Amino acid sequence: MKNETGSPGWVIWFVGLPGSGKSTYAQAVYGALKDRGKRVQYLSMDERRRVYVPEPNYTSQERNQVYRLFAEEAARIAGQGTNVIMDGTAPELSMREYARGLVERFAEIYVSCTIETAVHRETNRPQGLVMAELYQKAIKRQQTGEYFEGLGDVIGVDTPFEENPAAECVIDSNSVSVEQGRDLVLEFLDSWQSVK
């Protein structure tokens, strides 16, 4: 089903290091758009990963597979006329470019922060969909060789995050509040002229 204009939905993807604040900003934008009465769906990689791969191993091959499925799911939803907010690290630029190629209107929202800020935030994250103390365990593994069950390559420690200098919107989460970041993205969407 198309939206009221009969056109496909747009897709925006919040990307950045684990602990950068992607989910916080993405959920704030999602809530604001719902309050405006917009047709929008929120897709979290932390949640969708276990749908795509019930017992994830977090290998680089698996990462590529799940991000491909994530992009394709967002494109299907957008093709039915619903706007999509994606929330997932997507460390490789090619993952985001693949998603961009699947939809008519796509934007990358890069949530920037220092690795120190990300480590601090991850330290306080409870065990849930993402392993608790992700960075500390990855750093300890690097230093001592200790094995942690279920801990794959950690972006920012084992694998770099590939920044896109052409990202449509950048939020510096070291200094930008949730409300400021939300408003920055909403202003970007408004300037895009068709927030459906």
Residue 57, number of CB atoms within 10 A of its CB: 10
Answer yes or no: is 6 within a domain. no
Q: What is the pTM (predicted TM-score) of this model?
A: 0.83
DSSP H helices in the chain: 22-35, 45-52, 60-79, 93-100, 115-123, 134-144, 178-191
Answer yes or no: is 100 within a domain. yes
By residue range, what is the domain housing residue 40?
A: 11-171
Encode the chain (196 residues) as per-residue pLDDT tens digits. 344 556 889 999 999 988 888 999 999 999 999 999 999 999 999 889 889 988 877 788 888 999 999 999 999 999 999 999 999 999 999 999 999 999 999 999 999 988 777 777 666 655 544 555 665 665 555 666 666 666 667 665 567 788 999 999 999 998 999 999 999 999 999 987 554 4
Answer yes or no: is 181 within a domain. no
Q: What CATH number is given to the structural domain containing 109?
A: 3.40.50.300
* Six token digits for residue 98: 């693949």
| 171 SS3 class | strand
Q: In what order do the strands lie in the sheet with 40-44?
A: 40-44, 83-87, 11-15, 106-112, 169-172
> How many structural domains does the chain have?
1
| 128 SS3 class | coil
